């Protein structure tokens, strides 16, 4: 992608840097931010995230550093002149908390709260109530992780975060239909649209709040990053994978239900699966973790991480491609790409092919991307050694 030469007034056709080179620069910038924010001051009136608290920004910079080192832990990162020591980097930041402070609780989460007045309303709210779109649903993959069914298709267990992330299907909330409360996810990339009354929409705190929040990075996500680091032998994190998995689940429950309470969001349980205390509901999920199933501990980490970062779709997409987990339904590819499976990448903007064609064409050829089909072809660099796990 264009990076080192981008946004320079005297360069109209910037060269494309390799992904290794871009990440190398990102780490340099985060290191600089960590140093500058030690003594730096931020105008609280201009800071919509942390209201001028520089140390909170410093925690975010270092938590992001952990995220991005982890992003690269499955590929060769030693391009000449742009070497990235992933293991060494993780050891450095986790082993020196005084020099590299990170998130310590949900209170440190990086999140943008919209004002609730036009044009500063939550994008999901805008999509539903201003654009009048009623066809965006919760994914079947997510619902299947949260709502466990037995061989007879009867619900055996529900992770109660489902009640925050999703709404019951419209037909089950229609008294005339006389259907019990149900949560049903939409198949990703389906070749035909569903009957809208049969599919669950995104939960109240994400879709129905003009002054809602966009979550950039959370304390619970950092716990799953630590869990993976511990699994990979980085003892500097100071705990076992299981310890951080449990902490990540507990903090995720606390986060989601505190947000639901703050926004007075309706919680509608399935019959026979009532809400308990947050601690009890989190403990039930922890008690059911199965480290012996196919994929082992990394699968459990990534399933729970995927659940915890709900609404941060770009991050979920990146982590699914990086690790192959959680297992997902085969992506049908809609009408345009039947049988292609999960896309490998976002496409380059059409404008690049017109205004920066020489560099664009070289990148497309080098990455083995199919012309006219820019979301398939070569994988992203950090996903090169991973295959997606599809459900049987």
What pLDDT does residue 105 have? 98
The tens-digit pLDDT sequence of the chain (392 residues) is: 999 999 999 999 999 999 999 999 999 999 999 999 998 889 999 999 999 999 999 999 999 999 999 999 999 999 999 999 999 999 999 999 999 999 999 999 999 999 999 999 999 999 999 999 988 899 999 999 999 999 999 999 999 999 999 999 999 999 999 999 999 999 988 888 899 999 999 999 999 999 999 999 999 999 999 999 999 999 999 999 999 999 999 999 999 999 999 999 999 999 999 999 999 999 999 999 999 999 999 999 999 999 999 999 999 999 999 999 999 999 888 778 888 889 999 989 999 999 999 999 999 998 888 777 788 888 999 999 999 999 97
Asked if residues 22 and 77 have their Cβ atoms less than 8 Å apart, the reply is no
What's the chain's Rg over C-alpha atoms? Answer: 22
pTM for the predicted model, two decimal places: 0.96
In whole angstroms, what is the distance from residue 323 CA to residue 301 CA?
A: 10
Helix ranges (H only) for the chain are: 19-39, 54-71, 86-95, 123-125, 140-146, 162-165, 204-207, 219-231, 241-262, 278-287, 296-308, 313-323, 350-355, 357-366
Asked if residues 245 and 300 have their Cβ atoms less than 8 Å apart, the reply is yes
- In angstroms, the Cα distances linking 246 to 145, 278, 349 are 17, 14, 41
In whole angstroms, what is the distance from residue 282 CA to residue 250 CA?
A: 6
Question: Which residue has tokens 């959370």?
Answer: 218
Structure tokens at 25: 């620069």
Structure tokens at 169: 């299907």
**Which residues contact residue 183 at a Cβ distance below 8 angstroms, ignoring those fewer than 6 apart?**
138, 143, 146, 147, 162, 166, 168, 169, 200, 270
What pLDDT does residue 336 have? 80
Structure tokens at 53: 């608290």
């Amino acid at each position: 992608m264009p990076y080192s030469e981008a946004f320079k007034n005297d360069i109209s056709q910037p060269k494309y840097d390799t992904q290794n080179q871009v990440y190398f620069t990102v780490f340099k910038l985060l290191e600089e931010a960590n140093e500058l924010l030690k003594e730096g001051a931020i105008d609280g009136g201009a800071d919509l995230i942390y209201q001028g608290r520089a140390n909170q920004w410093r925690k975010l910079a270092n938590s992001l550093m952990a995220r991005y080192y982890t992003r690269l832990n499955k590929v060769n990162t030693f391009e000449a002149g742009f070497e990235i020591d992933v293991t060494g980097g993780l050891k450095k930041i986790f082993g020196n908390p005084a020099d590299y402070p990170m998130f310590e609780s949900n209170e440190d989460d990086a999140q943008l709260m919209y004002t609730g007045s036009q044009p500063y309303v939550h994008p999901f709210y805008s999509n539903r109530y201003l654009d009048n779109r009623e066809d965006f649903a919760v994914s079947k993959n997510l619902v299947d992780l949260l709502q466990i069914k037995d061989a007879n298709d009867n619900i055996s267990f529900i992770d109660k975060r489902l009640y925050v992330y999703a709404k019951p299907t419209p037909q089950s909330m229609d008294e005339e239909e006389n259907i019990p409360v149900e949560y049903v996810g939409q198949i990703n990339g389906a070749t035909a649209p569903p009957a809208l009354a049969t599919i669950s929409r995104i939960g109240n705190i994400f879709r129905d709040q003009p002054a809602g929040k966009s979550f950039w990075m959370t304390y619970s996500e950092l716990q799953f990053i630590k869990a993976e680091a511990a699994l990979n032998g980085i003892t500097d994190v100071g705990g076992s994978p299981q310890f951080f998995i449990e902490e990540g689940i507990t903090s995720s429950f606390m986060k989601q239900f505190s947000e639901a309470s703050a926004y007075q969001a309706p919680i509608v349980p399935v019959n026979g699966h009532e809400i308990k205390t947050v601690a009890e509901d989190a403990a039930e999920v922890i008690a059911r973790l199965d480290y012996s199933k196919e994929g082992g501990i990394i699968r459990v980490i990534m399933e729970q991480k995927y659940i915890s970062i709900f609404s941060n779709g770009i991050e979920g997409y990146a982590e699914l491609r990086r690790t192959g987990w959680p297992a997902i339904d085969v992506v049908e590819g809609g009408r345009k790409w039947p049988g292609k499976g999960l896309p490998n990448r976002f496409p380059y903007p059409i404008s690049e092919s017109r205004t920066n064609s020489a560099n664009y064409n070289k990148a497309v050829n080098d990455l083995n991307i199919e012309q006219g089909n820019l979301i398939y072809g070569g994988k992203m660099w950090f996903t090169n050694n991973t295959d997606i796990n599809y459900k049987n």
